[in-house]
Amino acid sequence: MFAFRAGDAASPRSRELPVGLADRIRPTTPVAGRLLPVPPALAPLFPDGALRRGSTTTVAGLPGHGATTLALALLAAASQTGSWCAAVGLPDPGVVAAAELGIDLRRVVFVPHPGQGWAEVAGDLLPGVDVVLVRPPGRARQTAARHLVARARERQAALVVLVEHVSAWPEGGDLALSVGALAWEGVGRGHGHLQGRRAEVRVSGRRSAGRAVECSLWLPAPSGVVAAAEVEDGPDGAGPDDGPKAA
């Protein structure tokens, strides 16, 4: 049981745990060292309430539907607590938006144009930084994807993969977040200004442990940060209070 939360993340046992059991067990040793904080509004998306070192999280969404906002927001709390982060392959990063999302710009490097070597660049960064956000230019090669996932696990860094559709990442993810935008608010036909976007984020993936969580979020809220909209329970009743809070 140790192996699931607190043991070696590379252990294959975590994946073999029965779904029901995986949902019930709780850590018996401190997990704080293995977790990287996320903004409070995003904690309900994660079984541990935080990004887990060594894990791979995919963030999928059509362009313009908020996936970049969500992916960048995953770096915010980690960078604020002193973790180094990197964003690879975001060609035109909105630095102001990143700052508004709470990212400490002193702790984040951008590699906007890694070219064909995006996977190698991400692989170079995984030993040095705690969170690597990578956007492959198209569908990732299976070998490159598998290598990166293994390297993240081995180096105990969190890998966040930004894709248009989850199928563009052949390795799947420990956790898969899909973003669907609902609507922008604050803007009308010729008046107001963009204030916030409501979005639905659905969580799946092998580490979601059978929880089908769906969250309503502001991606972003009018202040530029991510925030919880009213949360709707998933089909199995799993709500935001189901998981432990961010360490």
Residues of this chain that interact with another protein (CB under 8 A) are 61-69, 72, 82-84, 90-100, 104-115, 117, 120-121, 124-129, 181-184, 186-197, 220-224
Rank residues 112 and 137 by Cβ distance to another protein and give the closer one. 112
How buried is 54 (Cβ within 10 angstroms: 0-12 exposed, 13-18 middle, 19+ buried)? Answer: buried
CA 240 to chain centre: 16
Rank residues 53 and 65 by Cβ distance to another protein and give the closer one. 65
Give the number of other Cβ atoms within 10 Å of residue 29's Cβ.
Answer: 11
Compute the least distance from the CB of residue 33 to another protein, in Å. Answer: 13
Distance CA 61, CA 227 (A): 18
Rank residues 17 and 99 by Cβ distance to another protein and give the closer one. 99
Compute the least distance from the CB of residue 165 to another protein, in Å. Answer: 14
The token pair that represents 52 in the structure block: 């887990």
Rank residues 166 and 209 by Cβ distance to another protein and give the closer one. 166
Compute the least distance from the CB of residue 216 to another protein, in Å. Answer: 15
Compute the least distance from the CB of residue 206 to another protein, in Å. Answer: 27
Collapsing DSSP states into helix, strand and coil, what is residue 30? coil
Rank residues 20 and 127 by Cβ distance to another protein and give the closer one. 127
Collapsing DSSP states into helix, strand and coil, what is residue 56? strand
Distance CA 103, CA 154 (A): 26
Dihedral angle computed from the Cα positions of residues 212, 230, 201 and 194, in that order, rounded to the nearest 10 degrees: 170
Compute the least distance from the CB of residue 168 to another protein, in Å. Answer: 16
